Structure 1
Amino acid sequence: MLNPSQQIMRLGLGFAVSQALRATIELGIPDLLAAGEQSVDELAAATQSDADSLYRIMRLLAPEGVFREVLPRHFELTEIGAALRSDRPGPRDFVRMINSEAYLAFEQLLHSVRTGKPAFDKVFGSPRFDWLSEHPEQAALFQRAMVALGQGSNEAVAEAYEFKPFTRIVDVGGGHGQLLSAILARNPHLSGVLFDLPSGVAAARQGAGGDLPRTEFIAGDFFESVPSGDVYVIKKVVHDWNDERAAAILRNCSKAMLPNGKVLIAETLVPPGNEPSQIKGIDVVMLAVTGGMERTQGQYASLFDAAGLRLERVIQTRGPISILEASAA
């Protein structure tokens, strides 16, 4: 059992595990081990890397459950490590994305803590999404990471909410359209609007997120206005922004919403107490990278109030994501 000093040292070395994960992904080690165990020398030859150095990072990841050293300098892939294979949907693109430019921004986390402003802007000279718009390769990786993170949650949201009373759904910041596709498939009476920046709309038109029948594709800026509809769904968008900017999005939905309409935010709520929670880590990523935040139920209620809306209820889905339903105040 680790003593307090050793526990702190383990926490402080978390960056080493994170970057070792990224290195093995970039080298394609999980794919090479998919067929069975191999020696480090074989893996190093296949990846044109230094065998001793490769051994050291794989040895680091073995106690974390990613690999298993079955013989000296021979490793096999574990069930956890298999999630990093390129032929399986999963977190590999998230690990690659979070350990590149976002990782560099984290070196200036103290700047965010002192100022309340994203460190990313200081390190890269522009806000995160502006920077991504100028770096298409990293933007594509970001989109793939978001798709991986959304696995299962789109279906969970689509099945957890009753859309029968509505006729026209607007997916605000809908990206590739995976959520809208899932909702329309379950609700043939609905027509849809996929509303996003031009790049997101273009990807959705090409079917990147699935079939989108009965859908109108509209490009625009949700800080300026949103299309008219009677139910708005906003999934994993509000958390990207501070309260002022997030309230502006919701206020535009309130203005454009038809009578008796609803605004649905789909986000993961920050739980109370001291228990470990992945969303608490993502919240600090938002602080440093986008200036956004993950929120508690009470914070979302306040956000709705600021936008002229009223939180009616919170619906827990079968996944780690909740639907917060609001109507006109």
Structure 2
Amino acid sequence: MSPEEHLTRLGFGFAISQSLKAAVDLDIADRLVAGARSAEDLAAECGVHAGALARVLRVLCAEGVFHEEPSGVFGLTAVGDALRAGRGPLDFLRMLNAEPYLAFDKLSHSVRTGEPSFDVVFGLPRFTWLAQNPEAAKAFQAAMVAYGRGVNEAVADAYDFAGCSTVADIGGGHGRLLSAILARNPHLKGILFDLPSGVEEARKGVGGPLPNTSFIAGDFFEGVPAGADVYILKKVIHDWDDEKSVAILTAVRRVLPPHGRVLLAETLVPPGNAFSTIKLIDLTMLAITGGLERTEDEYASLFARAGLSLSRVIPTAAAIQLLEAKDA
């Protein structure tokens, strides 16, 4: 591929992503489990135009998602198999290619200002907009579950809670992470802290059993509950700019006991020029929420500004790390 062809391919990234969304929406991977099929056969079953579907599948074959046999039928690849229901990030792909896809049309606004282009396209900040659009909010939650599949378990497995008595999950949502931690550490008490809507769902057991848990609703910009010796925040700080992130961490530090620890479960941006999904997630955070992914040094700086000190980074079995900090 020449440099010019490479650049052209990158420029057509929108066509690839929307072709992928079309294949997801039509459940193409699940329809090919029993064997290769023609575009005409698939189109009749899906109720779509056969020629148009074939052209979409041809693009995805070039990306390794499907393969076209000499006879003209389409089959699954290992990549395409990950598009089957319950096996891959289907809901995450659907969400990415909905509102975020549209917001990226104004990415130049984010580059000029450092502010989310989502706000310009939709007229409201992302989470405010989601609160007013329940179907999109439901799709967003499903996307987060799909993208984070296995992460809660990996985080719960990676940290030794043996010497701890109470763990507070700050911004814990439906309680999936806290449920995983308590299941592995029955000696622990839990505190689930989130906005009222999240706490209500957690009380219902949406995220799993939460024995010995106190449910507290509130806003972490106004303060967090005392009474824990470990405070964990999973994928919270990456939603916010530096000033707001320091405010959240400062609120935690105020209630942290002398022996307490703060755990951030975040994915670090690696050094170097190699591909990393987190680099794309970081750009998405810029355009959609105004948050950002960070390097280890950048998290250490946030901790220091909040009166905390990064003590170690703990790897997990998933694409996420635990950053442990203590009172400086």
TM-score range, shorter chain: over 0.9
Match of 1:172 in 2: 170
Task: Kindly report which structure 2 residues correspond to 1:217-228, keeping only aligned pairs within 5 A, or say none.
Answer: 217-228=215-226
Deviation at 1:273, TM superposition (A): 1.0
Bigger mean CA offset, 299-308 vs 199-208: 199-208
Deviation at 1:77, TM superposition (A): 2.0
| Unaligned ranges ≥5, structure 2 | none
Q: Take 1:76 and 1:240, find their aligned partners in 2: how far apart are those partners?
A: 39
Counterpart AA for 2:131: S
Match of 2:124 in 1: 126
SS at match of 2:257: strand
SS at match of 1:310: strand
The C-alpha deviation readout for 1:151-208, integer Å capped at 9, x for no partner, is 2221221111111221111111112222111111111111111111222223322322
Counterpart AA for 2:179: S
Q: Take 2:312 and 2:30, find their aligned partners in 1: how far apart are those partners?
A: 44
Counterpart AA for 2:31: L
Match of 1:185 in 2: 183
Q: Take 1:4 and 1:64, find their aligned partners in 2: how far apart are those partners?
A: 18
Match of 2:92 in 1: 94
Task: Kindly report which structure 2 residues correspond to 1:43-54, keeping only aligned pairs within 5 A, or say none.
Answer: 43-54=42-53
Match of 1:319 in 2: 318
Deviation at 1:258, TM superposition (A): 2.5
SS at match of 1:179: helix
RMSD value, Cα? 1.3
Normalization by structure 2: what TM-score? 0.96
Deviation at 1:299, TM superposition (A): 0.3
Residues 18 and 99, structure 1, Cα contact 8 Å, conserved in 2: yes
Bigger mean CA offset, 212-221 vs 273-282: 212-221
SS at match of 2:322: strand
Match of 2:105 in 1: 107
Residues 241 and 292, structure 1, Cα contact 8 Å, conserved in 2: yes
Residues 283 and 294, structure 1, Cα contact 8 Å, conserved in 2: yes
Q: Take 1:222 and 1:139, find their aligned partners in 2: how far apart are those partners?
A: 21
Counterpart AA for 1:115: T
Q: Take 2:198 and 2:5, find their aligned partners in 1: how far apart are those partners?
A: 46
Change (3 A) 1:225 1:48: same
Residues 174 and 234, structure 1, Cα contact 8 Å, conserved in 2: yes
Calculate percent identity across the aligned residue pairs.
58
Deviation at 1:147, TM superposition (A): 1.0
Task: Kindly report which structure 2 residues correspond to 1:237-252, keeping only aligned pairs within 5 A, or say none.
Answer: 237-252=236-251
| Unaligned ranges ≥5, structure 1 | none
Q: Take 1:295 and 1:180, find their aligned partners in 2: how far apart are those partners?
A: 24
Deviation at 1:275, TM superposition (A): 1.1
Residues 55 and 73, structure 1, Cα contact 8 Å, conserved in 2: no
Match of 2:80 in 1: 81
SS at match of 1:38: coil
Match of 2:259 in 1: 260
Q: Take 2:70 and 2:216, find their aligned partners in 1: how far apart are those partners?
A: 57
Match of 1:42 in 2: 41
Q: Take 1:62 and 1:11, find their aligned partners in 2: how far apart are those partners?
A: 17
SS at match of 1:171: strand
Deviation at 1:280, TM superposition (A): 0.6
Bigger mean CA offset, 130-139 vs 22-31: 22-31
SS at match of 2:101: helix
SS at match of 2:69: strand
Normalization by structure 1: what TM-score? 0.96
Deviation at 1:127, TM superposition (A): 0.7
Residues 21 and 61, structure 1, Cα contact 8 Å, conserved in 2: yes
Match of 2:61 in 1: 62
Change (3 A) 1:179 1:165: same
Deviation at 1:259, TM superposition (A): 2.8
The C-alpha deviation readout for 1:224-277, integer Å capped at 9, x for no partner, is 111112111111111111111111111111112223111100111001111111
Q: Take 1:200 and 1:211, find their aligned partners in 2: how far apart are those partners?
A: 15
Q: Take 2:217 and 2:73, find their aligned partners in 1: how far apart are those partners?
A: 52
SS at match of 1:108: helix
Counterpart AA for 1:209: G
Residues 169 and 231, structure 1, Cα contact 8 Å, conserved in 2: yes
Match of 1:156 in 2: 154
Residues 32 and 43, structure 1, Cα contact 8 Å, conserved in 2: yes
Which aligned runs of 4 or more in structure 1 are off by greater than 6 angstroms? none
